[in-house]
């Protein structure tokens, strides 16, 4: 796993969602096909529009992602 993503996850778990969001955005810009990156980006999305976009990206990368499908249909 990329160090930037690992760092973002650690920052997220420490409670600093704003900083984690910046790190996940940087990671996604370099790794747009990272299903895991989009999953973490979903966790720091600011609104439903962003969450929906993340879910669509996850399903574009992996159409059989059950969790993303379930969240999309809620």
Mean predicted confidence (pLDDT) in 43-69: 97
pLDDT number for residue 20: 98
Return the number of other C-beta atoms located less than 10 Å from residue 57's C-beta: 21
- Work out the angle between the directed axes of helices 35-43 and 17-30 (0-180°, nearest 10): 150
Residue 58 has pLDDT above 90, yes or no: yes
Report how far residue 41's alpha carbon sits from residue 37's, in angstroms, rounded to the nearest whole number. 6
Report how far residue 57's alpha carbon sits from residue 40's, in angstroms, rounded to the nearest whole number. 12
The structure's pTM equals 0.93
Mean predicted confidence (pLDDT) in 4-23: 97
Report how far residue 72's alpha carbon sits from residue 66's, in angstroms, rounded to the nearest whole number. 10
Confidence of residue 46 (pLDDT cuts 50, 70, 90): very high
């Amino acid at each position: 796993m990329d160090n930037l993503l690992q760092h973002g996850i650690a920052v997220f778990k420490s409670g600093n969602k704003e900083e984690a969001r910046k790190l996940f955005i940087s990671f996604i810009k370099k790794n747009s096909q990272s299903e895991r990156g989009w999953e973490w980006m979903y966790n720091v999305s600011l609104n439903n529009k962003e969450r929906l976009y993340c879910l669509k990206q996850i399903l574009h990368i992996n159409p059989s992602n059950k969790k993303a499908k379930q969240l999309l249909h809620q």
